[in-house]
Structure 1
Amino acid sequence: MISALIRFSLIQRLMLLLAAAALTAGGVWAFSALPIDAFPDISPPQVQVIVKAPGLAPTEVESRITFPIEMEMQGIPNQKILRSTTKYALSNIVIDFEDGTDIYWARQQVTERLTQAREALPAGAEVVLSPISTPLSDIFMYRVKGEGYSNSELRTLQDWTIRLRLRTVDGVADVNSMGGFVRSFEVQPDPRRMASQGLSSDDLEHAIERNNRNAGGDRINRKDSMLLVRTLGQLRDADDIRRITVVTRSGVPVRVSDVAGVREGALVRYGGVTADGQGDVVTGLVLLRVGANSRTVVEAVKQELARLAPTLPKGVIVEPYYDRGDLINAAVLTVEMALGEAVVLVVLVLIVLLGNLRAALTVALILPLSVLFTFIMMKLFGVTANLMSLGGLAIAIGILVDAAVVVVENIHTQLAHAPKGVSRLHLVYRAVTEVATPVLSGILIIAIVFLPLFSLTGLEGRMFTPLALTIMFALLGSLLLSFTVIPVLASFLMRGGAHGEDRVLAAIKRMYLPAMRWALAHRTTAVGGALVALVLAAALFPFIGREFMPVMDEGHTLVNLEKASDISLEASLAMDAPIQKAVLEIPEVTGMLCRSGSDELRLDPMGFYQSDCFLQTRPREEWGYGLETMHEKLRSKLEGFKDQGVEHGFSQPIDMRVSEMLSGVRADVAIKLFGDDFEVLEEKAGQIEEIVKRTPGANDVFRARLSGQGYLTVDIKSELLARYGLNNEDVNDVVETSVGGKVVTEVIEGNRRFGVLLRFPEPARTSPADIEQLLIKTTGGAMVPLGMVARVTEVDGPVLIQRESARRYVVTRTNVEGRDVVSFVEDLKAAIEREVKLPQGYYIDYGGQFENQQRAAARLALVVPVSIALIFFMLFLTFRSVRQAGLVILNIPFALIGGVVGLFVSGLYLSVPASVGFITLFGVAVLNGVVMVAYFNQLREAGRTVLQAVQEGAERRLRPVLMTALIASLGLVPMLLATGPGSELQRPLAVVVISGLITSTLLTLILLPTLYAWLEGRAERRIKGSKGETP
């Protein structure tokens, strides 16, 4: 089949050249049409259920809302994680599904279960699903500014103009508003006037509701026409509300204005935003829809804002403070530059080592053609151009030319020794078909090496599958091109004549050949030295730290603040101002914007005591120092606020969301203590926190406080209620409306809607005594103070309740600095097991990076040996010898030497990218071994003795082995030296491959010939001895 393909290509050379031109055009088009992003989509299919329960305490929300919904959600097919956070007035339930689950099917399943759960929920609970987005959907954040406009006016503009326009952009799931004040009409009853008129808050509520409706009376026919009938009774402004009649006494109407004040105000806030120490600001957050492309959507959002700008009121501007597009462009530029530089280096190596410009040009052409072929395949398979997929191409650059080098070298040899009368096309055909089988075997071996990457699951699987796919696409392209286009190009470009040998290669041979002959003569010493090096590398391995993924510098810094758990929203926002002013004293910081509490859509259920602060800084090149130094400067400013109960930590926008996605918390390591009793959880979590703080490497340690929130509890006495003919709901309605406030209807202005909030003025609801004086109207019309039927007390209760798999837990979180995550957790686990005694039924789970590292390591430990076994099988099929297959496999452990030393010397940790580097290293090491052993066998078949075959073969194969190693390593040098965003993920891979290839190549050139001569020599002597021949 391969021979037929080669024959067809050489017969139809013009057609192949046209096909190559079409491939070029198609590849250019595919690249221009490829979606571009910073990362692959690493989020699992996720559905959030958000329940707003105004006025309910966390324990009430848990028992009446969270628990019933969790029970219904259990058992949904493909469900992987069920996690919930319950806070004041809010329940946020997150369901993660297995990879590959259709998000629309998942939402449908959740919606069906919610239908059943709604019956158990309290009246007034508002249940919604989150937008069709992912945890990493925060792609564009902006601030609405305007001189002379109030925050209420700016928020109205954001909600009803800017947000609505941006939601029309294709790919936008929703636009979240936060900050400022949501305009409303406040109705504030006067308790004394209400009592004098014998009115309750229920009376006021019902009157307002009944006086705010237009209605239709169908139509009236008038001869040949008709008139539509409608009533106009809808509220239009505050005066309309004031004029509403609540009750008529003796023909005299009692209007709303007689018993209550009416004014324009704001709805109850659950979050706010401050900036630069100047107080409240208004912001918006654009959420990316699942499956949409970040870069495309960000550009479309910016274009829509540009079109919107002229229509905004004079002086109002929309100012971005976070743009994911900046990171995408920088990350893609990093890998594109590394890819371009790698191609240049590879071409230079080809020219130098091939010693023939025409041959080098023929081989070099496979690079752009294979890359363009890969772009077409990426487009067909829906793989985005991102840091990982383009990184796979950068890795493959060094491997792509291997097949073409073998083919072109054999073509050149055939042409150089061509007998007279044989056509050039026949010589090319014969040369290509001679090496077709080993070339195919080599590509298959490389492909098998990368198969373990497809076995990775979770975040690491979603991250590295695109890398593995692009490598496979590139290998397929290089294989097809080596059997089709390369022979055709060679038939046009190449001429006969010997290879040139440049001075560099000659100098290398002068050093190599004596060393190789010495090793053949002192094989015990050579093999022993290699074994010693292997043992030393194994001894270094325990000193190499382990982590899941290196942290990528995104170019944006987040400061996470945690304050006293019972702080009010107003106090929390006020506390942000001096912190912002202190941080702005750092010359490189130009702005600081803090979001406290929950957002409008409740996607980020933070408490009032939590703030996420976005720093705006000067360009990095102007700093004169690195990110760690910036963190130290920030710490020095923030330490001054610790005596006010403010804890701090540092993160980045994507890194923070990834941490939340992995473990539900914003830190490298999450120590989750599961149990039922709040007091036990609080006590044991306190012990764990102290252990974490004294563990070396712990930084930004924080324990979630279960208790510490003050509660004003209204304890209803049922026997007293019965005396007055009241029930529990009468008391609940009064407390809910009078204290918490209740939106009873809406005022519509054009397309805008503003709530009418019924709530007692603050002086009438600030203390237990005030609440006891609230009046409840009996069925007979009498007014009973609440204190007559209930007892109001202050108690302490939980701030939040977190649950996973329907069990409560409390989490202690920490970042890790100065050491690797795995050794940190191992030391921490040992200390906790030694010092913390848990009651029956309580247990600890370690989440975050550690959990993912353990999962990835376990999966690779299982799959890599299987992959090596498959490689061994391929080698056996190639050589028909277990001994020779085993000899080539020996290259793998010896290749590890350089990789381990490289990680140790560079101070990098063994991470998933480093593991991918070792996998790449295995492939190149095995390929070099195949090249060497196959040629030894070929020379022996030509009549050479084992020793002659080894000496001649090692000299003849020096060039291709060096080329393979140099091209593979130099192709990764730009990745090693890159400093842009994303380089942190590629550097461990490059270090492992480059350093590993140094030792692997040396051992291939020195140790492999020595072992081959030893083992095959013994076998040859044994065969001769069995035949009675004299060895």
Structure 2
Amino acid sequence: MAALLRFILTQKLFVLAMTTLIVALAVQAWQRLPVDAFPDISPTQVKLIIRAPGMTTAEVEAQITQPIETELLGIPDQSILRSTTKYAITSITIDFAEGTDIYWARQQVSERLAGVWGSLPANVEGGIAPMSTPLSEIFMFSYNNPNLTLTERRHILDWQIRPLLRTVPGVAEVTTMGGYVQTYEFAPDLQRLQQAGISLEQLIDWLQQHHLNGSVGRINSGTSTLVIRTEGKLNDAYDLGQLTIQSANNEPLRLEQLGEVNIGHLARFGGVTHNGDETAQAMIIALKGSNTSDVVQAVKAKIAQIEMTLPEGSELNVFYDRASLIETAVNTILEALFAAVLLVLLVLFVFLADVRAALVVAISIPLAVALTFLAMDLAGLTANLMSLGGIVIAIGMLVDAAVVVVENILSQSQQQRHAPRAHRIYRATLAVAKPVISGTLIVIIVFAPLLFLTGLEGKLFSPVAMTIVFAMLSSLLIALCVIPVLAVSIIKFSAKPAPRFLQWLLQHYQNALKQLIRRPAPWLVMALVLLIATGITGTFVGKTFMPVMDEGDLIVQLEKHPGVGLAESLAVDGQISKRLLRDVPEIKQIVARIGSDELGMDAMGLNETDMFIQLQPVVSWQVTDKEQLIENIRQILHQYPGINFNFTQPIQMRVSEMLTGTSGDVAVKVFGDDIATLSDLAQQIADTTGRITGSVDVQTTLIDGGEFINIRLRPEVAARYQLTTAELSRRLRIFVDGLQVGEITAGKIKTPLMFSSSQSLSRVTYIQQLAQMPISLSDGSVAPLASVATIETQFGPSLIERENGSRFAVVTSNVQQRDIVGFVEELEQQINASIPLPSGYTIEYGGEFENQARATSNLLMIVPVVLLIIVLILFTTFRSLAIAGLVYANIPFALMGGVIALFISGEYLSVPASVGFIALLGVAVLNGVVMLSHFQSIDNRYSSIDELVITGASDRLRAILMTATTAMLGLIPLALASGPGAEIQRPLAIVVIGGLVTSTLTTLFLLPLMYARLRGRNEKS
């Protein structure tokens, strides 16, 4: 260390040049840093979306979901396999172990899927979803134009807007939803077909053969080569109607003579309303690993170009913009950072009473922050509320090393007035180098184990730990390498008295310390009583996993009866939207998404709605807070019987679904085989949950009660006419959803070509209509469906959810005005006491509770390791286990302040609060190291133990008060912040502030007392 200091002080220009270069590189690094609201907390995940038109939920599970799951379950490094099966669709999600390469994972899934695909039903379609994450939904807008029909709006979205947005770098997919997808339809007249002697199958096969272009080959013509092809592609509905087919008696008939040629639309799997009126919308899905902020800005720029080309009256209404949340969240942290820096600078000027010395210390803050940005860039971190929050947390500690160095330089300068300036700085810096390095390493070691947390808490707090480690290493480097160089040029070694308030404080501190040393027993007893009382108080502090970040806007998830149709679901959502807009003035607009899009990215049923509620600016609210706003909305929703609902937020919803497969603070899953039994148990659990204090928005997924029509071909008819079930299904599909037989291409626009019926089924008389539906037979005759098949209404599952190959039903609940851990413990007791489980059925508790339990388990393993490492460093520093034990005595009192602060503030013990307690370990030990290392350094100067302790403690009063005050004031802006993201950082800041108060008092009073008693005992022995 001595050689390094000599080099630094003799090569000042080199040090300053390198510092300038590093700052320039850091500025460039900051400009390159990706910006997001959150760190990437998603696992390596591959999603499959498989569609099976016309198949019931049970059929999809048996014929598609189960075979695919069986094939996928053996993939290496797989952590969990979930599936959601509904009518005509299954969504299968595979999560892999941390660190698994996404491309390798997708390749493994692709190979397994290819192996099972041949055994699946012939009409299935779909495959692996785009390479995105559950948090990739970054931008959504509706397309409104009163001058256009819903079909025209959807057509513009699909063929004008979507293709252009897909060209934006970083966009994985653009999904569209709502409105009607235009088709060209041919509705055959079976009577005319019978008269012409043409069967339905013949007509379908004939159309598929004639509606295509063919490749013939090439011929040589002189020096040129000519390509020959046959052309049969249709261009529009007129071409379709003019197609000519030969009848049985060789009479040419145009297709329009055998039925009706119309412009129709595909069967819809979902819809969208804006403020209660139906519309169409698009959603931007970002590529995994892309810079969210940059992608959103590029999308906005592209939209600005697109808007100029749209028809008059068009409006692209943005109702979700991740960039706005990112900007607000990052600004929350940056504002706290700016305020913290100002408060820290104020403390420096007040305590040092030397503008030049304070300036030298102050310079260490921007230099350390700049070095931290450079390290973040090299480590591949993003600038988000967690990583930037780590810098705010460290702000108060960034100056600790510089304060100790500068304060000692000022002190030593008064004792070595005749020595050269550089020599005095060299001696002063060298004297405190060892404790400064030890203290900084202890803080780093305290935070480093957070890098080994797993799950969501690990992904959230690893960036915090990394930035704190980077910042502390930077501060150490600056304190020992840059501060001495700056001190040579800037600090004046003139004799200045300490500030009056500090002289007054020092006098009273010495008097109090003398009284304490004379009569230690009462004070020690009082400290012990306070420690025990705090331990008892801690039992009343609730526990939760993570505070919920206020994202600004809301999502209300609605669930209606499983048998509801799309039209009715849209109507209900429209009524609710208009009612909320009328009665809740804080709402700006509402966009409700019912069902799923054509890609099936979010496989919801027609009875399910995600209602995006965009709110007015908070300053215009008539309610006092968001909880009251949610309660007002809840009271309105209670007036709509038969509707379950749950409140969430865009990111919160996806994070919950990613972690547990469902949303809600608490999720109770019951596993078993029988759907009816699962449904019954889920309802009992939901009833029990609703009776627990604090439960709100209790919801159980309606897995049974789905109504469907079962049509079974009569065996004698099948034999007589050689009619198979597959052929019957194909013919019936024409009259229900329609049968796609091809596409008509005009430029880049592809329009589905459908065989369909000109009549739609009535909800009231569908059985009678189905019974009379004409079925063409192999002899050319036509018979009603009732004569060839039995028709009956049955009930079955509308939803089947599976996890690792087992069916389950789930009950979710949000928790209000109490801690989640206590809620789950009470709920578990009630369920065990009142709901007996049949053999083969099990219950698991998930949601936030599951995360909290895992985080607690991990922390209980990490903290003892941290304490052991600190012991080793303390022993290395002091060469005494007894003195190391004295430093450790500071830790319980630091934790005591954190517990008291949590209790008074009403915050729960969460992962952020636990991280705050871990931080207190470092702070408490650092203060003890500063005090006791100075006692050791002056030990041989005093014969009286009391004089040694009082003098040594007085010498370090200013340094300890400065480091503690800067750390506390640096965290106060974070504790008082109110923007998005502040909720996560606030418990940590409150714990550290409270712990700093008690830790500082312990360092200044109890630690000197215990050192004096230890030295006295050693002398006697």
**TM-score, with structure 2 as normaliser:** 0.97
Equivalent residue, structure 2, for 1:637: 636
CA contact (8 A) 2:730 2:739 kept: no
Equivalent residue, structure 2, for 1:397: 395
Residues 506-551 of structure 1, C-alpha deviations (whole Å, 9 max, x = no match): 3323443333222222222111111111111111112111111111
Q: 50-59 or 552-561: which moved more?
A: 552-561
CA contact (8 A) 1:211 1:235 kept: no
Equivalent residue, structure 2, for 1:834: 833
Equivalent residue, structure 2, for 1:299: 297
Equivalent residue, structure 2, for 1:1028: none
Equivalent residue, structure 2, for 1:673: 670
Equivalent residue, structure 2, for 1:649: 646
Instruction: State the Cα distance separating 1:780 from its structure 2 match.
Output: 5.0
Q: How far apart, in 2, do the equivalents of 1:854 and 1:753 lie?
A: 52
Task: Please give the residue correspondences for 1:791-802 in structure 2 after superposition, counting only pairs within 5 Å.
Answer: 791-802=790-801
Equivalent residue, structure 2, for 1:504: 501
CA contact (8 A) 1:61 1:86 kept: yes
Equivalent residue, structure 1, for 2:121: 122
Task: Please give the residue correspondences for 1:575-590 in structure 2 after superposition, counting only pairs within 5 Å.
Answer: 575-585=572-582, 586-590=584-588
Q: How far apart, in 2, do the equivalents of 1:499 and 1:694 lie?
A: 70
Q: 689-698 or 521-530: which moved more?
A: 521-530
CA contact (8 A) 1:201 1:738 kept: no
Equivalent residue, structure 1, for 2:164: 165
Give the gaps of 5 or more residues in structure 2: none
Matched residue type, 2:299? V
Q: How far apart, in 1, do the equivalents of 2:509 and 2:740 lie?
A: 86
Matched residue type, 2:483? I
CA contact (8 A) 1:734 1:776 kept: yes
CA contact (8 A) 1:5 1:483 kept: no
Q: How far apart, in 2, do the equivalents of 1:713 and 1:194 lie?
A: 28
Equivalent residue, structure 2, for 1:368: 366
Q: How far apart, in 2, do the equivalents of 1:249 and 1:789 lie?
A: 25
Q: How far apart, in 2, do the equivalents of 1:686 and 1:197 lie?
A: 58
Q: How far apart, in 1, do the equivalents of 2:818 and 2:604 lie?
A: 30
Residues 961-995 of structure 1, C-alpha deviations (whole Å, 9 max, x = no match): 11111111100011111111111111111111111
Q: Go from structure 1 to structure 2 and tell me whether the alpha carbon gap of 1:880 and 1:222 turns closer, same or farther (over 3 Å shift).
A: closer
Instruction: State the Cα distance separating 1:731 from its structure 2 match.
Output: 2.3
Instruction: State the Cα distance separating 1:590 from its structure 2 match.
Output: 2.4
Matched residue type, 2:575? P
Q: Go from structure 1 to structure 2 and tell me whether the alpha carbon gap of 1:1019 and 1:226 turns closer, same or farther (over 3 Å shift).
A: closer
Q: How far apart, in 2, do the equivalents of 1:744 and 1:620 lie?
A: 54
Instruction: State the Cα distance separating 1:859 from its structure 2 match.
Output: 0.2
Residues 196-248 of structure 1, C-alpha deviations (whole Å, 9 max, x = no match): 44544423321221221122333444444454433321111112222233541
Q: How far apart, in 2, do the equivalents of 1:464 and 1:785 lie?
A: 67
Q: 723-732 or 899-908: which moved more?
A: 723-732
Q: How far apart, in 2, do the equivalents of 1:271 and 1:374 lie?
A: 48
CA contact (8 A) 2:142 2:274 kept: no
CA contact (8 A) 2:196 2:248 kept: no
Q: What is the SS of the residue equivalent to 2:142?
A: strand
Q: What is the SS of the residue equivalent to 2:664?
A: coil
CA contact (8 A) 2:405 2:429 kept: yes
Equivalent residue, structure 2, for 1:319: 317
Task: Please give the residue correspondences for 1:52-91 in structure 2 after superposition, counting only pairs within 5 Å.
Answer: 52-91=51-90
Q: Percent of aligned positions with the same letter in both sequences?
A: 46
Matched residue type, 1:656? M
Matched residue type, 1:356? D
Matched residue type, 1:873? L
Q: 3-12 or 964-973: which moved more?
A: 3-12
The answer to whether the aligner puts 1:349 opposite 2:329 as a matched pair is no
Q: How far apart, in 1, do the equivalents of 2:497 and 2:180 lie?
A: 78
Q: What is the SS of the residue equivalent to 1:351?
A: helix
Q: How far apart, in 1, do the equivalents of 2:369 and 2:8 lie?
A: 21
CA contact (8 A) 1:452 1:860 kept: no
CA contact (8 A) 1:415 1:496 kept: yes
CA contact (8 A) 1:144 1:319 kept: yes
Equivalent residue, structure 2, for 1:1029: none
CA contact (8 A) 1:208 1:241 kept: no
Matched residue type, 1:533? L
Q: Go from structure 1 to structure 2 and tell me whether the alpha carbon gap of 1:102 and 1:224 turns closer, same or farther (over 3 Å shift).
A: closer
The answer to whether the aligner puts 1:262 opposite 2:261 as a matched pair is yes
Equivalent residue, structure 1, for 2:383: 385
Equivalent residue, structure 1, for 2:479: 482
CA contact (8 A) 1:673 1:810 kept: yes
Instruction: State the Cα distance separating 1:500 from its structure 2 match.
Output: 3.4
Equivalent residue, structure 2, for 1:23: 22
Q: Go from structure 1 to structure 2 and tell me whether the alpha carbon gap of 1:412 and 1:258 turns closer, same or farther (over 3 Å shift).
A: same
* Equivalent position to 1:434, from 426, 431, 436: 431
Matched residue type, 1:340? F
Task: Please give the residue correspondences for 1:594-993 in structure 2 after superposition, counting only pairs within 5 Å.
Answer: 594-624=592-622, 625-642=624-641, 645-718=642-715, 720-763=717-760, 767-777=766-776, 779=778, 781=780, 783=782, 785-993=784-992
Residues 65-122 of structure 1, C-alpha deviations (whole Å, 9 max, x = no match): 1111111111212211110000000000001112222211111111111111102211
Instruction: State the Cα distance separating 1:956 from its structure 2 match.
Output: 1.4
Q: What is the SS of the residue equivalent to 2:39?
A: coil
CA contact (8 A) 1:597 1:608 kept: yes
Instruction: State the Cα distance separating 1:293 from its structure 2 match.
Output: 1.0
Matched residue type, 1:507? W
Matched residue type, 2:456? L
Q: What is the SS of the residue equivalent to 1:360?
A: helix
Equivalent residue, structure 1, for 2:327: 329
Q: How far apart, in 1, do the equivalents of 2:60 and 2:1004 lie?
A: 70
CA contact (8 A) 1:273 1:596 kept: yes
Instruction: State the Cα distance separating 1:718 from its structure 2 match.
Output: 4.2
Instruction: State the Cα distance separating 1:391 from its structure 2 match.
Output: 0.5
The answer to whether the aligner puts 1:540 opposite 2:518 as a matched pair is no
Q: How far apart, in 1, do the equivalents of 2:81 and 2:214 lie?
A: 46
Q: Go from structure 1 to structure 2 and tell me whether the alpha carbon gap of 1:102 and 1:519 turns closer, same or farther (over 3 Å shift).
A: same
Instruction: State the Cα distance separating 1:456 from its structure 2 match.
Output: 0.9
Instruction: State the Cα distance separating 1:328 from its structure 2 match.
Output: 0.7
Q: How far apart, in 2, do the equivalents of 1:682 and 1:546 lie?
A: 31
Q: What is the SS of the residue equivalent to 2:539?
A: helix
Matched residue type, 2:606? F
Instruction: State the Cα distance separating 1:786 from its structure 2 match.
Output: 4.1
Q: 645-654 or 237-246: which moved more?
A: 237-246
Matched residue type, 1:869? L
Q: 212-221 or 812-821: which moved more?
A: 212-221
Matched residue type, 1:514? N
Matched residue type, 1:390? L
Q: Go from structure 1 to structure 2 and tell me whether the alpha carbon gap of 1:224 and 1:931 turns closer, same or farther (over 3 Å shift).
A: closer
Q: What is the SS of the residue equivalent to 2:272?
A: strand
CA contact (8 A) 2:407 2:959 kept: no
Q: How far apart, in 1, do the equivalents of 2:574 and 2:493 lie?
A: 79
Q: How far apart, in 1, do the equivalents of 2:827 and 2:92 lie?
A: 30
Q: Go from structure 1 to structure 2 and tell me whether the alpha carbon gap of 1:896 and 1:386 turns closer, same or farther (over 3 Å shift).
A: same
The answer to whether the aligner puts 1:528 opposite 2:521 as a matched pair is no
CA contact (8 A) 2:561 2:702 kept: no
Residues 343-388 of structure 1, C-alpha deviations (whole Å, 9 max, x = no match): 1111111111122222211111111000000011111111111100
CA contact (8 A) 1:390 1:467 kept: yes
Q: What is the SS of the residue equivalent to 2:261?
A: strand
The answer to whether the aligner puts 1:571 opposite 2:568 as a matched pair is yes
Q: Go from structure 1 to structure 2 and tell me whether the alpha carbon gap of 1:515 and 1:716 turns closer, same or farther (over 3 Å shift).
A: farther
Q: What is the SS of the residue equivalent to 1:972?
A: helix
Equivalent residue, structure 2, for 1:446: 443
Q: Go from structure 1 to structure 2 and tell me whether the alpha carbon gap of 1:7 and 1:98 turns closer, same or farther (over 3 Å shift).
A: same
CA contact (8 A) 1:201 1:737 kept: no
Q: 175-184 or 205-214: which moved more?
A: 205-214
Q: How far apart, in 1, do the equivalents of 2:637 and 2:931 lie?
A: 62
* Equivalent position to 1:460, from 457, 460, 473: 457
Count residues with an aligned counterpart. 1017
Q: How far apart, in 2, do the equivalents of 1:75 and 1:892 lie?
A: 48
Equivalent residue, structure 2, for 1:551: 548
